Structure 1
Amino acid sequence: MNLKVAFTWEDAKEVADLIIFKHFQEHLKDLEIQLLQGAWEGLTYEKIAQIHHHSVNYLRGDVGPKLWQKLSIALAEEVTKNNFKGALERAREKQYFDSSIPVVEFPFPEGAVPLNSSFYMEREGIESLCYDTVVKSGSLIRIKAPSQMGKTSLMSRILAYAQTHHYHTVYLDLSSVERSILTQLDKFLRWLCLMVSRQLKVDNKLNDYWDTEILGSNDNCTVYFEDYLLSTIQGSLVLGLDEVDRIFPYTEIIDDFFGMLRSWHEKGKISQKWKQFHLVIAHSTEVYIPLDMNQSPFNAGVPVELIEFDQKQVKNLAYLHHLDWNDNQVENLMQIVGGHPYLVRRAMYEVSSSKITLLQLLQEAPTEAGIYSNHLRKHLETLQQSVKETQGLKEALKKVVTSPEPVELDSMQIYKLHSMGIVRRQDNHVIPRCNLYREYFRRVL
């Protein structure tokens, strides 16, 4: 004998909410839930209005008809206040909703996209260019993009590709280096050698190769790599240096360090040993520090600049998040956040997790109640720092977000704002990267 499972008010509310969300990308509003529950209990519009302190004309003439119409569309049958119970129960029986199906949990978009993730969006031609380049003798790849645009995700894939060719790889995030190390060239280069040694799983022999009486720090570091590391591993080494912007303010080391990297790249053109050395560096924007063009790695090798996702890529991401968005919905999102990888993925994570509707997300996006509040406050805190490099940056950005036309700024202000990722350059002028930044900073500044 088949026993029919009781259909409760909680069941009805859950089915109605999921059905509405599936078809309209919005959840039931509080007032709609109150009306639905009152109707479930057999109450009149007058009684429901009295209990919840609403206008009976508003419930009967506006909220009610709209709710029954939405349910009628979603369930493909006429739904009224009198028959909605049976309609929702049939919806469950027809498996519009199946509580046994597990909810898909999408990864929260933070940090690098894992290698095995389907959420990584390839840029046309970029990955193949990097893969072809990294396996060439003495290669140098320079990845440039503002924060949270995918530099680390791309670098991890370049290193993984090199590993398929049996290359040794080392990844170092320079943003993690302690400030005390960055103020002394010798200490910084010894740190570099030690970290590379550890990742290659070779013994630390710095004391055996570091001759402080005769050789300078750059020469000692070069000798350690050439005579020890490259000789010991007996194969090619790809060194990935991420967030190199971190060391730009440290004038004690930048000239010598970047000059050394450039010399290693040049050695790779003539030295068999240094042809085994491959370098991948990532930085946020143009290099503002004055470097001799012949001693800088930033005007050599293969440059790679990451741009925002286009509409097709954003639509593909929506599909991967199980969001059945049409072109208008994709365009509505991009009007607010553009094709910024992090901002797009964060929106889709929130909507696909049923935490918010797309309409509500877009309305709240530039406010403190929106999903981007922490992201926006972080940028605001950077602007409010009193350090020398950010003097006047708030006023500069204020000009940008309040002007309908591109604004001309000095080169340092452009560098800082662009490296933060909140402006887009147009020749010597800038505009806000997206409307999210324009609306938020126009309000708070």
Structure 2
Amino acid sequence: MAAKTILILTANPSDTGRLRLDKEVREIQEGLNLSAERDSFNVVSQWATRPDDLRRALLKYKPQIVHFSGHGAGTEGLLLESDTGAAKPVSGLALAQLFDLFSSVECVLFNACYSQVQAEAVVEHVDYVIGMTHAMGDRAAIEFAVGFYDALGYGHPVPFAYKVGLSAIALEGIDEVATPILKVRKGLEEAAESPVSPATTPEIKQVKPDQPPESTNKPVILEEPEGLVPLESRFYMERLPIETDCYETVVRPGSLIRIKAPRQLGKTSLLVRTLAHARSQGFETVRLSFQTSDNDTLNDLDEFLQWFCCSVTEELDLEDRLADYWKGARGIVRRCQRYFERYLLTELDKPLVLGLDEVDQVFEHPKIATDFFGMLRVWHEEGKTNPIWRKLQLVIVHSKEVYVPLSINRSPFNVGLPIELRELNEDEIEALITRHQLSLTAHQKQQLVELVGGHPYLLRAALYQLARGRISLTQLLEEAPTEGGLYSDHLRRHLLNLEADQDLLNAFKQVIPTYRPVQIGSTEAFKLHSMGLVKYDGNAVVPLCGLYRQYFQSRL
């Protein structure tokens, strides 16, 4: 039998983060050289790959396996190199058209972040294609590739080798097992041992939404739709280009990202993915939630800033040296700045991305908020000229509008990249229904969307119960706007917040009786929108979804 050719293509454009491509290629070759069937493979490498290089290498070597190692940008494509060494995106469609011309190719491995899009396009023409659902760190990428080729080197088929690659990631204790995904050409699925997803991804049974639960003891294993959506979750829906914008910005020196959205719209889930992307590019990251600070701390600026510094230090596993830097300096804010400037940022040999979650807690304490947010603005401005502060990237996450009186030059909320999370659009809703393996008619989808709109949490909660077979769509539509329905806790929380502010309550009472957009006071409209109860229609507002209209009509 003739030896199979493995064509390894690498690209690390000059305007992208550095990758350990040489280590990956070297370890793949070493593993194959040690394998039982090392004579069955011929490895060819192509570095700094340009689009022309890709085409010529396929023509020249006629490979059976094509391995790309480098950067991916989701729907924009794989990042090859231009003639000047800069990034050159190549779309999934272009790759699919190219691979359609080369019937010798049996397997393609895109070892690049967010390359699932390209895998789905190419698998129309290649038996097996592996892509990545999310950002992937160097260690995980290398471990997966080495495990995959180790298995091929001992004569195992691609689906089994894929599982071995996943196992290699898990054995190293890296939390990225769910990132590589195997796509199998239509018609080969039954022959493949693991056609589309890692062994850790639960199998979901299809349930018809208007049928009662089957009389079976087999549970339907799904992911509880509450709180943070795990990094490896198949139920996280990207709202492009939001994620792409965050991932591109967070690795820029001295950058600042502001993520704002009402509760349960996915802010923290986006934050952890942004931090994960930064880690995959070699950054240190800290996620600090201000919900962990108590009222006593938030009532004293000195104690609050010490808590802030100690929390970041602890997350970085550094020695607490607060006492050394907290004495001598004039001004409490200056002490905090000096601790970061002369200790934390100097001590780290990598840039630091600091994710500040739930900063709304600080809004309730205006005296502290003015100094703290003013300090963050100073740090961001210092990052434009001062090399040590260019090592710090900030991601600030909040739900409420910023009502703390901050001067224009002391606010971090009017600089950087603003991200306001939107509802899921029609395509994203369709994809989420598909991921729950539900068969809904066009009319049923319309009924569901009229009830909850594209609100991620409300939608996932409904699909979760439908997929489990615990409720029919008819029952859901009838019970949802009641105190005994699926959303009772969520609705009561909104009701309590409204009852605590008579002006908001009166304004919302004007909105819910009619199906036409209603103009109310700009301040009340602003606050109701920040709470997630209404959406804008020009200068007027309407309830965010039918669920809110129905519930509050009966309660108010």
Give the secondary structure class of the aligned counterpart of 1:279: strand
Give the secondary structure class of the aligned counterpart of 2:469: coil
Alignment equivalent of 2:294, drawn from 175, 178, 183: 178
In structure 2, the partner of 1:254 is 369
Rounded to whole Å, the distance in 2 between the matches of 1:22 and 1:305 is: 34
Rounded to whole Å, the distance in 1 between the matches of 2:496 and 2:424 is: 27
Answer yes or no: is the 8 Å Cα contact 1:245–1:284 preserved in 2. yes
In structure 2, the partner of 1:71 is none
Alignment equivalent of 1:420, drawn from 510, 528, 531: 531
In structure 2, the partner of 1:329 is 444
Q: What RMSD over aligned residues (CA atoms) do the two structures have, in Å?
A: 2.0
Question: Is 2:141 aligned against 1:26?
Answer: no
TM-score (norm. length: structure 1): 0.75
Question: CA 1:276 to 1:23, structure 2 compared with 1: closer, same or farther past 3 Å?
Answer: closer
Answer yes or no: is the 8 Å Cα contact 1:314–1:330 preserved in 2. no
Alignment equivalent of 1:129, drawn from 231, 236, 245: 245
Give the secondary structure class of the aligned counterpart of 1:282: strand
Alignment equivalent of 1:397, drawn from 508, 513, 516: 508
In structure 1, the partner of 2:407 is 292
Aligned AA (1:374): D
The Cα shift of 1:249 comes to 2.1
Offset from partner CA, 1:214-235 (integer Å, 9 cap, x none): 4111111100001010111221
Rounded to whole Å, the distance in 2 between the matches of 1:285 and 1:325 is: 35
Question: Is 2:470 aligned against 1:355?
Answer: yes
In structure 1, the partner of 2:259 is 143
Question: CA 1:431 to 1:128, structure 2 compared with 1: closer, same or farther past 3 Å?
Answer: same
In structure 1, the partner of 2:431 is 316
Rounded to whole Å, the distance in 2 between the matches of 1:400 and 1:343 is: 21
Question: CA 1:176 to 1:395, structure 2 compared with 1: closer, same or farther past 3 Å?
Answer: farther
The Cα shift of 1:430 comes to 2.4
Rounded to whole Å, the distance in 2 between the matches of 1:320 and 1:149 is: 19
Aligned AA (1:169): T
Rounded to whole Å, the distance in 2 between the matches of 1:409 and 1:249 is: 25
Alignment equivalent of 1:344, drawn from 437, 444, 459: 459
What is the aligned length? Answer: 351
Rounded to whole Å, the distance in 1 between the matches of 2:465 and 2:249 is: 37
In structure 1, the partner of 2:326 is 210
Rounded to whole Å, the distance in 2 between the matches of 1:347 and 1:22 is: 13
Rounded to whole Å, the distance in 1 between the matches of 2:477 and 2:429 is: 16
Answer yes or no: is the 8 Å Cα contact 1:109–1:349 preserved in 2. yes
In structure 1, the partner of 2:392 is 277
Question: Is 2:395 aligned against 1:266?
Answer: no
Answer yes or no: is the 8 Å Cα contact 2:256–2:395 preserved in 1. yes
In structure 2, the partner of 1:408 is 519
Answer yes or no: is the 8 Å Cα contact 1:311–1:331 preserved in 2. no
Rounded to whole Å, the distance in 2 between the matches of 1:289 and 1:439 is: 34
Answer yes or no: is the 8 Å Cα contact 1:423–1:433 preserved in 2. yes
Alignment of 1:425-436 (within 5 A): 425-436=536-547
Identify the structure with bigger relative contact order (alpha carbons < 8 Å, sequence gap 6+): 1
Alignment of 1:357-376 (within 5 A): 357-376=472-491
Rounded to whole Å, the distance in 2 between the matches of 1:302 and 1:271 is: 20
In structure 2, the partner of 1:163 is 279
Rounded to whole Å, the distance in 1 between the matches of 2:442 and 2:383 is: 49
Rounded to whole Å, the distance in 1 between the matches of 2:522 and 2:207 is: 49
Answer yes or no: is the 8 Å Cα contact 2:401–2:527 preserved in 1. no
Rounded to whole Å, the distance in 2 between the matches of 1:165 and 1:23 is: 43
The Cα shift of 1:427 comes to 4.7
Question: Is 2:555 aligned against 1:444?
Answer: yes
The Cα shift of 1:103 comes to 3.3
Question: CA 1:171 to 1:99, structure 2 compared with 1: closer, same or farther past 3 Å?
Answer: same
Question: CA 1:24 to 1:375, structure 2 compared with 1: closer, same or farther past 3 Å?
Answer: closer
Aligned AA (1:443): S
Offset from partner CA, 1:374-432 (integer Å, 9 cap, x none): 111111122223xxxx2432222211212443333444433432232111134543221
Structure having the larger proportion of residues in strand: 2
CA radius of gyration, larger in = 1
The Cα shift of 1:107 comes to 1.2
Rounded to whole Å, the distance in 1 between the matches of 2:316 and 2:212 is: 52
Rounded to whole Å, the distance in 1 between the matches of 2:492 and 2:406 is: 34
Rounded to whole Å, the distance in 2 between the matches of 1:127 and 1:353 is: 30
Answer yes or no: is the 8 Å Cα contact 1:264–1:274 preserved in 2. yes
Offset from partner CA, 1:240-265 (integer Å, 9 cap, x none): 01111221121111111111101100
Rounded to whole Å, the distance in 2 between the matches of 1:22 and 1:200 is: 45
Alignment of 1:169-248 (within 5 A): 169-211=285-327, 214-248=329-363
Offset from partner CA, 1:36-88 (integer Å, 9 cap, x none): xxxxxxxxxxxxxxxxxxxxxxxxxxxxxxxxxxxxxxxxxxxxxxxxxxxxx
Offset from partner CA, 1:173-215 (integer Å, 9 cap, x none): 113321111111111111100000000011111111012x641
Question: CA 1:316 to 1:383, structure 2 compared with 1: closer, same or farther past 3 Å?
Answer: same
The Cα shift of 1:358 comes to 0.9
Alignment of 1:42-81 (within 5 A): none
Question: Is 2:234 aligned against 1:118?
Answer: yes
Give the secondary structure class of the aligned counterpart of 2:482: coil
After superposing the two structures, state which structure 1 stretch, 148-157 or 397-406, moved more. Answer: 397-406
Alignment of 1:68-107 (within 5 A): 102-107=218-223
Aligned AA (2:288): L
Answer yes or no: is the 8 Å Cα contact 1:315–1:325 preserved in 2. no
- Structure 2, unmatched stretches of 5+, are 1-205
The Cα shift of 1:142 comes to 0.7
Give the secondary structure class of the aligned counterpart of 1:281: strand
Answer yes or no: is the 8 Å Cα contact 2:301–2:332 preserved in 1. yes
- Structure 1, unmatched stretches of 5+, are 1-20, 29-96
Structure having the larger proportion of residues in helix: 1
Question: CA 1:409 to 1:173, structure 2 compared with 1: closer, same or farther past 3 Å?
Answer: farther
The Cα shift of 1:361 comes to 0.2
Alignment of 1:374-393 (within 5 A): 374-385=489-500, 390-393=501-504
Rounded to whole Å, the distance in 2 between the matches of 1:99 and 1:253 is: 57
Rounded to whole Å, the distance in 2 between the matches of 1:155 and 1:148 is: 13
Rounded to whole Å, the distance in 1 between the matches of 2:216 and 2:458 is: 31
Answer yes or no: is the 8 Å Cα contact 2:207–2:468 preserved in 1. no
Give the secondary structure class of the aligned counterpart of 2:305: helix
Answer yes or no: is the 8 Å Cα contact 1:197–1:229 preserved in 2. yes
